[in-house]
A and B are shown apart, each in its own frame.
Chain A
């Protein structure tokens, strides 16, 4: 069974600085999807970025980018020029491509604090 591990329960970053959130996963599959979701306090989860495992190029969305290391089964999220609005819980999620298995497997999350 696939598992997702986020080893940093909490991280802090100074406004305008860069922070990296870690995520590792375990799978025997060769093709899959990985996602980072942001969950602001008392608000719904929103997608930050996604990565298809067959793509070698790391995904980038504005200030958010990933470092996808397939062999190491690592999928870290880098937030550049951190803003106060980035403060939230961040969840890493894995999705199998196997037909019929559409659920996400989430990590336990990392709480990001942004210091003014």
Chain B
């Protein structure tokens, strides 16, 4: 069990650029989640996958955001035309299908939009 990994750990981009983040969940976990955490706040849910199917999306996930999980393994989160308000920590988590459903979190990708 190598844990949830995320790449890159830090990303600085200019406003208007596109960025893509990757998450590798724990290998036997079929559920994968993306959260966004801004300074002084708790993580907020963005989207959820069960295997390769994206089953839930938050209203926070605007049209500029897209997430995929091809083949039910790793996942990518893309932000198009970044805005300064997108600056945040993007967290990925994974879990098994069965109770107690606890989620295991990755170290996050810190995005800074200048």
Contacts and interface: CB of A to CB of B under 8 A. Distances in A.
Chain A interface main SS type: strand
A19 interface: no
B111 to A, nearest CB: 15
B66 interface: no
B100 A44 contact: no
Interface size class of B (residues with CB under 8 A): 20 to 34
Given A44-B107, A95-B101, A100 B55 contact: yes
Given A33-B100, A47-B102, A104 B43 contact: yes
Interface residues of A, number: 25
B31 interface: yes
A105 B44 CA distance: 7
Nearest to A92: B42
B112 to A, nearest CB: 15
Given A103-B58, A108-B41, 12 more contacts: A44-B107, A44-B108, A45-B91, A47-B102, A47-B103, A47-B104, A102-B95, A102-B101, A103-B48, A104-B33, A106-B42, A109-B41
Interface of A: 4, 6, 33, 35, 37, 43-47, 50, 52, 91, 93, 95, 100-109
5 contacts: A35-B102, A47-B103, A95-B101, A100-B55, A102-B33
